[in-house]
Amino acid sequence: MEIVFDVPADRVAFMLEMLSSINYVKNPRPRRVRKSADVKEQDTTEYLLSSEANAESLRRSIAQLRRGEVVQVEIAD
């Protein structure tokens, strides 16, 4: 099965990073992404703050981190 996404240029890097983190997603035909000169790449924090629900979740997570409420997880290679 092949699924095609129409992703805005400023979200391509984020989408590729997210999809590559899913272990059952394979990209048999990797494509080079050309960045348009007029497109400002949005970092992950800026993206999360663009939605009020995501922004609130990010604020809660930052507050937990500052209170020392963290869980360390080892990721196997």
Q: Print pLDDT tens along the chain (77 aa).
A: 567 777 777 877 777 777 777 666 555 556 666 655 555 666 777 777 788 888 888 888 889 989 988 888 787 76
For 50, residues 6+ apart whose C-beta sits below 8 A from its C-beta are 42
At 25 the pLDDT is 55
Q: What is the pLDDT of residue 40?
A: 60
Sign of the torsion formed by the C-alpha atoms of 27, 5, 38 and 53: negative
pLDDT for 62 equals 86
pTM of the full predicted structure? 0.39
Whole-number Cα distances in Å, 4 to 7, 18, 29? 9, 15, 12
DSSP code, position 42:
P
Q: How far apart are CA 30 and CA 37, in angstroms?
A: 22
Calpha distance 58→64 (Å, rounded) = 10
pLDDT at 34: 60
